[in-house]
Amino acid sequence: MTTPFPFTAVVGQDDLRLALLLNAVSPAVGGVLVRGEKGTAKSTAVRALSALLPEVAVVPGCRFSCDPAAPDPSCPDGPHESGGGAERPARMVELPVGASEDRLVGALDIERALAEGVKAFEPGLLADAHRGILYVDEVNLLHDHLVDLLLDAAAMGASYVEREGVSVRHAARFLLVGTMNPEEGELRPQLLDRFGLTVEVAASREPEQRVEVVRRRLAYDDDPAGFAARWADEEAAVRGRIVAARRLLPSVRLGDGALRQIAATCAAFEVDGMRADIVMARTATALAAWAGRTEVLAEDVRQAALLALPHRRRRNPFDAPGLDEDKLDETLEQFSGEGDEDPDPDGPGGGGGGQPPADSDGGPQGGDTAARPEAGEGEPQTSGAGSGEQQAVRASEPFRTKVLSVPGIGEGAAGRRSRARTEHGRTTGARRPRGALTKLHLAATVQAAAPHQRARGRSGPGLVVRRDDLRQATREGREGNLVLFVVDASGSMAARQRMSAVKGAVLSLLLDAYQRRDKVGLVTFRGSAADVALPPTSSVDAAAARLESLPTGGRTPLAAGLLKAHDVLRVERLRDPARRALVVVVTDGRATGGPEPVALAGRAARLFAAEGVASVVVDCESGPVRLGLAGQLAGELGGTAVTLDELRAESIAGLVKDVQRRAA
């Protein structure tokens, strides 16, 4: 077994280490999500934590790690008698990004269940992680349905596996740790909320600290066992402190004053639901136990807020994470000393070590535009195709867009945009299984077996089912697509102060792409050329940031923009052939850049039509005289055209008027 890097040898990353240790002291905190750029010791710290956890007592031979002092009465390997048992190290189980549902929750042997009536269950990773650590690297890249199963098990402390009426339940209580790089995409807000704590990590900018990181890593790589031996005393001290804190935890008192501070803080930051209050209370209690105290102080509440609230106050994916610490201090000061005696008369002054920065790298600074837009506030733009450099225009308020989808049925990554053949969704038919049977179509299986019962010697009630009779259910769900935005940033668009509305529309489409779990890319064209402002990525945050700083002005090289988009799709098709593309061209349809601009643009558009690429043109033309060029472009692309007004999803007021009109 490879010797892990010592936890106490990790340089810096105080918040990360504290969050992990608090979960080790009190697993009820709910796990931790570690967000940060690549190469910041996220995985190293998590793997090192498992060596610090105390050994666990288990029932010998139990595949579900039942506690001999209180065995699970519904354990599939049970029933177990109380008492006895053996001790083993706490496990750290890693969940691969490409894992299947059966690998996560376990699998039933469908053939034996049908043919023999035997409930044969093979445990999954949730069973392996019981009473240990379940580590998910790149959790933001995990399929949504797996994340849902994972977090439901973490919340309930149990895993349920059901296949065609056969049900298995087993305990699954574990310390959930997820790591992610925000550049590769965000988790949905409702999933973020299921992690107890979150930590933002970044590489140190201090040369001396970076030198120490390299020095320790090289020493570990040269002699892992020798390096670990040099840190053995520090590791033993932390391990002993975890054990002591666990023993002290039930004695820690959370007074009414601290509870009021927790409630007031969650209310002041407008956090939805009550989970944040509960997590803050548990975290503050664990902080007190870790410090060796039996009373929760104001400094514990402050530190708990910095760990438990940043990921819960985001209203949309473009909001930058983090807390306003001045506002936090004011709230704690206002509610200090109320209800009972506060043992810390100085208020919230003590918990400042290692707070996440106010302006974190977890999201674009331009994200505030989505939350606090200034509609139509673009600076006056000069007209004419040959206008020079201009200031970037702020986006207008985003809105809910009409659904844009790719026609046909795909087989790409799970998402919420276009129809696809998936492992989850509504059943649409049955087929013979190709490989292992995963989703049994019971009716089709019975139909296939029924005509052969007499030949198989069955004359009475019952059914003889053989392997050839089994039928796999075919299901239809939704897939995520590659949504490639091709945005006209030329002078013809900005001349009439349209860029603010255009950016607002693209921002709305980006928000829609985030919610539907798409990859996004951004191509812009202006002046004499087109640029790939953002290669295809799962991070809509990055796309929103590029959009915010997008300059405008110059001629309209429409053909160059389309050809650049065509090249991006060609490369992406080689990387991810199963993911279908949707090209969204945002333009007024004018073409003025390059020789024969109109003819070249038409030829470029017909390339998309010839390859059957789904496309939508968002027509940004305005004014009393409209040339209809965007509609012509949509025809050559083989797609459809919508205006900025038509892009908005129909409002409730519009539906009411329509009903009233029909009633009249």
- Identify the DSSP state of 595: S
Q: How confident is the model at residue 2 (pLDDT cuts 50, 70, 90)?
A: confident
What whole-number distance in Å separates Cα of residue 24 and Cα of residue 243? 9
Report which listed range, 154-168, 324-338, 394-408, 604-618, is most confident. Answer: 604-618
Q: How confident is the model at residue 349 (pLDDT cuts 50, 70, 90)?
A: very low
Per-residue HEC secondary structure of 521-560 comes to EEEEEECCEEEEEEEEECCHHHHHHHHHCCCCCCCCCHHH
Q: 259 or 461: which carries more pLDDT confidence? A: 259
Residue 1 has pLDDT above 60, yes or no: no
Which residue numbers are catalytic? 275
298-308 vs 256-268: helix axis angle to the nearest 10?
Answer: 30
Ramachandran quadrant class, 154 (left: phi over 0; alpha: psi -120 to 50; beta: rest): alpha
Entry pTM: 0.67
Determine the distance from the C-alpha atom of residue 264 to the mean position of all C-alpha atoms in its chain, rounded to a whole number: 28
458-476 mean pLDDT: 81
Specify the pLDDT at position 343. 44
- Cβ distance 634 to 593 under 8 Å? no
Specify the pLDDT at position 137. 86
pLDDT in tens, 197-254: 999 888 888 899 889 999 999 999 999 999 999 999 999 999 999 999 999 999 999 9
Specify the pLDDT at position 661. 47
Ramachandran quadrant class, 240 (left: phi over 0; alpha: psi -120 to 50; beta: rest): alpha
- Cβ distance 337 to 297 under 8 Å? no
Among 20-34, 251-265, 329-343, 544-558, the range scoring the smallest mean pLDDT is: 329-343
Among 268-272, 369-373, 395-399, the range scoring the smallest mean pLDDT is: 369-373
Residue 348 has pLDDT above 50, yes or no: no
For the chain, which domains are there? 7-53+89-202 (3.40.50.300), 250-334 (1.10.8.80), 369-406+481-652 (3.40.50.410), 421-478 (no CATH)
Mean pLDDT of all residues belonging to the chain: 80
Please count the helices (runs of H) and the strands (runs of E) in the chain: 24, 20
Q: In this structure, is the dihedral angle defined by the CA atoms of residues 244, 246, 249 and 250, taken in order, positive or negative?
A: negative
Phi, psi of 342 (to 5 degrees): -85, 120
Q: 478 or 397: which carries more pLDDT confidence? A: 478
Three-state DSSP state, 286:
helix
Residue 651 has pLDDT above 60, yes or no: no
345-369 mean pLDDT: 39
Residue 635 has pLDDT above 90, yes or no: yes
Specify the pLDDT at position 582. 94
Specify the pLDDT at position 378. 35
Residue 527 has pLDDT above 80, yes or no: yes
Residue 143 has pLDDT above 70, yes or no: yes
Q: How many CB atoms lie within 10 A of CB 260?
A: 17
DSSP string, 484-519: EEEEE-SHHHHTTT-HHHHHHHHHHHHHHHHHTT-E
458-470 mean pLDDT: 79
- Residue 50's nearest CA partner among 106, 5, 99 is 5
pLDDT in tens, 507-523: 888 888 887 888 888 99
Residue 338 has pLDDT above 80, yes or no: no
Among 13-17, 287-291, 311-315, 629-633, the range scoring the smallest mean pLDDT is: 311-315
Q: 253 or 108: which carries more pLDDT confidence? A: 253
Q: How confident is the model at residue 636 (pLDDT cuts 50, 70, 90)?
A: very high
